[in-house]
Structure 1
Amino acid sequence: MAWNEPGGNNQDPWGGRRGNDGPPDLDQVIKKAMDKMGGLFGSKPPAGNSGGGFGPIVVIALIIGVLAALYDSVNIIDQREQAVVLRLGKYYETLGPGLQFKLPLIDTLIKENVTRVQSKSLKSKMLTEDENIVDVAISVQYVISDVKDYVLNVRDPQSSLVQAAESALRHEVGSSEMHFVLTEGRESLASEVHARTQKYLDSYGIGLTVSKVNLEGAHAPEEVQDAFLDVTKAREDEVRLRNEAETYANGIIPEARGQAQRQLEEANAYKEQVVAQAIGEASRFEQLLVEYQRSPEVTRERMYIDAVQGVLAKTPKVLMDVEGGNNMMYLPLDKIVGNRVSDSVSESGGQHLTASDLDKVTRQVMDEIRQRQPSIRRTREAR
């Protein structure tokens, strides 16, 4: 039955009776609602408080608190970020990109960028294996690989990263000589520091991955910089001279090997030639022996003629026996033939001697012999 129907005793829902004075006062309605809420929480409004302006302020504050709690429970996580949720201070879950919710006043949400490459630099004086001091500067590039470990395992991850990188650098520099650190060992040094730093970070459970280590500088202290430059120049000269010597050796050694190989091949060819010639001479001697056994006189004369022909063929001088005496006539065929050949060559325009030229020279030699024979006979008769 409605409160304003007949028989309803004119009772309004707020506990008052409906009179003829119009609708109830709004302040009274709010005051009664606040009193009821206060009764639920075991509190009573103070005596004598009419509640004329206190009720709306409390409601507005309550509404603002509710809206603030709702706003704090809604979080937007960027595509490059991940978030760790702590519920009452304890790890609860890891949230990915998107619109995420958490319980207000209970959950704590910590967001970190897991795609950005960050960098840390450090520079320090270090002692090398050969007890020299060098100034070394490096930069370490890294990304967050595990946001949970990054947030919860270490209080200051970046400081721990710097300390791990410095420890790895000191270990590698202390195990190397100064010359190696300052010259050809720079690249390998950066690679070793990278691997050792990552090993330290993994043992810490820090949630970071080192992407690259750059060796930005390595040089001697300023106090000894001039002396070090002199030493560096001397070492560079040493390397240059060594390279020149190696270049010369690389050029001369193959040439010497080639000459040695050529001489070996020539020696082998000469050996084969001598052996083949000896075999041929032995076979010729055996055949000649057979012929000699058949006809000794003819073979002996033929061998004599061949021997004389072989000897006389190598000399330009000819000795002729004169009939009836022991005198020998000497013909300077070398000069005669040489003059005739030069004349023939000049007449023929530098061409080779022909058969007619040779016949002409032969006739001239025979004429010279005939002209000298009477004078030789007269000389014999006079004696």
Structure 2
Amino acid sequence: MAWNEPGGNSNDQDPWGSGGGRRGGDRQGPPDLDEAFRKLQDSLGGIFGKKRSGGPGGDSGKSGGFGLFWVGLLLLLVVWLYNAIYIVDEQEQAIVLRFGKYYETVGPGLNIYFPPIDRKSQENVTRERSYSKQGQMLTEDENIIEVPLTVQYKISNLKDFVLAVDQPEVSLQHATDSAVRHVVGSTTMDQVLTEGREVMAAQVHERLQRFLDGYQTGITVTQVNLQSATAPREVQEAFDDVIRAREDEQRLKNQAESYANGVVPEARGEAQRMLEEASGYRDAVISRAQGESNRFGKLLEEYRKAPDVTRERLYLETMQEVMSNTSKVLVTGETGKNSLLYLPLDKIINSRNVSPQQGSGAAGAASQTGQETPVPNGLEMRDPRSREAR
């Protein structure tokens, strides 16, 4: 009798060796596909609240459905916990929104939130970020220049950075463009190209931070770097000529200042020297005049006491002063005679200074021979300092 005919012993006649839902028996074979599909269907039915009707396997199908449900629920719980638990680094902060409203700011450490009720935003608040910009701008004296700059910033208030402004970094770019154009537009080209960059950077920093604080972006600008500004490429050659002309002007000014610094102090010193000399001459003349006046007063007192003696003394001092400045003396004779005697006093004085071994010229020779110097007739040798010579 066939194994699958009614009344047959299917357990003994089953060619795959499986019977009555029992696997294998004494022999192992391929699984029953119908039985596997039936169990899967029962499990799905248990999940959706359906019960298997009839048959001795109804209760086992229900319990298997509930077991699969709890397993799925456990898997969902694990996935939820994996997404709900997060770690905030030392350099970061996180804000939590509950039902779309700000709830708290979370610091470093291990934290948990409850999605989908809660939402979080996590950012690095200590790292400095940078933004670079370059564009053509108009200066105060109506010149077009290209100004490159770099803005360094960091997040100072994460709540404002996430909630107060949509795309705060875009707002930073717009505020930077506005601040730079305002500062460059109120500055001349020379200051932008030369020594005015540091002052401009400070002004841009102050104005940009004021804009960001007004917008409540939660961003703090740490530094603004204005790099070397240049002219547009279309006018670069003409701009270079202007720069060279400005450099030549400055060089000539420096040379003129150097020359002035050398001449002006010298002229001032010469003028001061002349003033000092004039002051000294004035003081000397005044002092000499005062001395002469005092001397004359003293002399007048003595003259009143002894007129003859004082007159003689004055005459002798005067003749001594006059004769000491001349080396030639002319002596005349009596009145009516034209005889003139010349005394070479300079020769006589020099002859006296000669050593005795060498003699004393004509006077020495005359003394050695015992002869005297002849005197012309009608002349009388007189002492020029005597009273008769007057």
Same fold per TM (> 0.5)? Answer: yes
Distance 1:143 1:240 in 2: 45
TM-score by length of 2: 0.73
2:376 partner letter = R
1:287-312 CA deviation, whole Å, 9 max, x = no partner?
11011112223322322332233233
Partner of 1:113: 124
Q: Matched residue of 1:86: which SS?
A: strand
Does the alignment pair 1:319 with 2:319? no
Equivalent of 1:140 in 142, 145, 151: 151
Distance 1:359 1:196 in 2: 108
Q: Is the 8 A contact 2:359 2:365 kept in 1?
A: no
In the TM superposition, residue 196 of structure 1 has moved relative to its aligned partner by 1.1
In the TM superposition, residue 242 of structure 1 has moved relative to its aligned partner by 1.4
1:226-246 CA deviation, whole Å, 9 max, x = no partner?
111111011111112212222
Q: Matched residue of 2:147: which SS?
A: strand
Q: Matched residue of 1:377: which SS?
A: coil
Equivalent of 1:261 in 253, 265, 272: 272
Q: Is the 8 A contact 1:70 1:104 kept in 2?
A: no
Say which one has the larger Rg.
Answer: 2
Partner of 1:102: 113
Distance 2:152 2:169 in 1: 11
Number of positions where the alignment pairs a residue of Structure 1 with one of Structure 2: 326
Partner of 1:192: 203
Q: Structure 1 residues 92, 368: CA separation in 2 closer, same or farther (over 3 Å shift)?
A: farther
Q: Structure 1 residues 359, 82: CA separation in 2 closer, same or farther (over 3 Å shift)?
A: farther
Task: Map residues 263-278 of structure 1 onto 2, 5 A cutoff.
Answer: 263-278=274-289
Q: Structure 1 residues 336, 228: CA separation in 2 closer, same or farther (over 3 Å shift)?
A: farther
Equivalent of 2:77 in 50, 66, 70: 66
In the TM superposition, residue 260 of structure 1 has moved relative to its aligned partner by 3.0
Q: Structure 1 residues 366, 104: CA separation in 2 closer, same or farther (over 3 Å shift)?
A: farther
2:344 partner letter = L
Q: Structure 1 residues 224, 311: CA separation in 2 closer, same or farther (over 3 Å shift)?
A: farther
Distance 2:121 2:97 in 1: 8
Q: Is the 8 A contact 2:128 2:152 kept in 1?
A: yes
Distance 2:117 2:264 in 1: 83
1:69 partner letter = W
Q: Is the 8 A contact 1:87 1:106 kept in 2?
A: yes
Partner of 1:217: 228
TM-score by length of 1: 0.75
Partner of 2:9: none
Of 189-198 and 320-329, deviating more is 320-329
1:168-224 CA deviation, whole Å, 9 max, x = no partner?
110111111112211221221112111111111111111111111111231111111
Q: Is the 8 A contact 1:146 1:208 kept in 2?
A: yes
Distance 1:199 1:193 in 2: 10
Distance 1:297 1:241 in 2: 80
Q: Structure 1 residues 291, 90: CA separation in 2 closer, same or farther (over 3 Å shift)?
A: same
Q: Is the 8 A contact 2:354 2:360 kept in 1?
A: no
In the TM superposition, residue 113 of structure 1 has moved relative to its aligned partner by 0.8
Q: Is the 8 A contact 2:145 2:232 kept in 1?
A: yes
In the TM superposition, residue 372 of structure 1 has moved relative to its aligned partner by 10
Q: Structure 1 residues 269, 358: CA separation in 2 closer, same or farther (over 3 Å shift)?
A: farther
In the TM superposition, residue 362 of structure 1 has moved relative to its aligned partner by 11
Task: Map residues 16-165 of structure 1 onto 2, 5 A cutoff.
Answer: 44-45=49-50, 48=53, 50-51=61-62, 54-165=65-176
1:319 partner letter = V
Q: Is the 8 A contact 2:52 2:62 kept in 1?
A: no
Q: Is the 8 A contact 1:77 1:96 kept in 2?
A: yes
Q: Matched residue of 1:219: which SS?
A: coil
Q: Matched residue of 1:105: which SS?
A: coil
Q: Structure 1 residues 71, 361: CA separation in 2 closer, same or farther (over 3 Å shift)?
A: farther
1:36-58 CA deviation, whole Å, 9 max, x = no partner?
xx8xxxx7425658447543432
Q: Matched residue of 2:135: which SS?
A: strand
Does the alignment pair 1:179 with 2:178? no
Distance 2:366 2:159 in 1: 127
1:6-50 CA deviation, whole Å, 9 max, x = no partner?
xxxxxxxxxxxxxxxxxxxxxx9xx99x97xx8xxxx74256584
In the TM superposition, residue 64 of structure 1 has moved relative to its aligned partner by 1.3
Q: Supply the RMSD in Å over aligned alpha carbons.
A: 3.4
2:50 partner letter = P
Q: Is the 8 A contact 2:333 2:378 kept in 1?
A: no
Distance 1:369 1:262 in 2: 60
Q: Is the 8 A contact 1:190 1:214 kept in 2?
A: yes
Q: Structure 1 residues 319, 180: CA separation in 2 closer, same or farther (over 3 Å shift)?
A: same
Structure 1 unpaired stretches of 5+: 1-27, 342-354
Q: Is the 8 A contact 1:83 1:109 kept in 2?
A: yes
Task: Map residues 3-18 of structure 1 onto 2, 5 A cutoff.
Answer: none
Of 62-71 and 225-234, deviating more is 62-71
1:298-341 CA deviation, whole Å, 9 max, x = no partner?
322322332233233334x32142666641405272x887xx69
Of 279-288 and 289-298, deviating more is 289-298
Q: Structure 1 residues 196, 291: CA separation in 2 closer, same or farther (over 3 Å shift)?
A: same
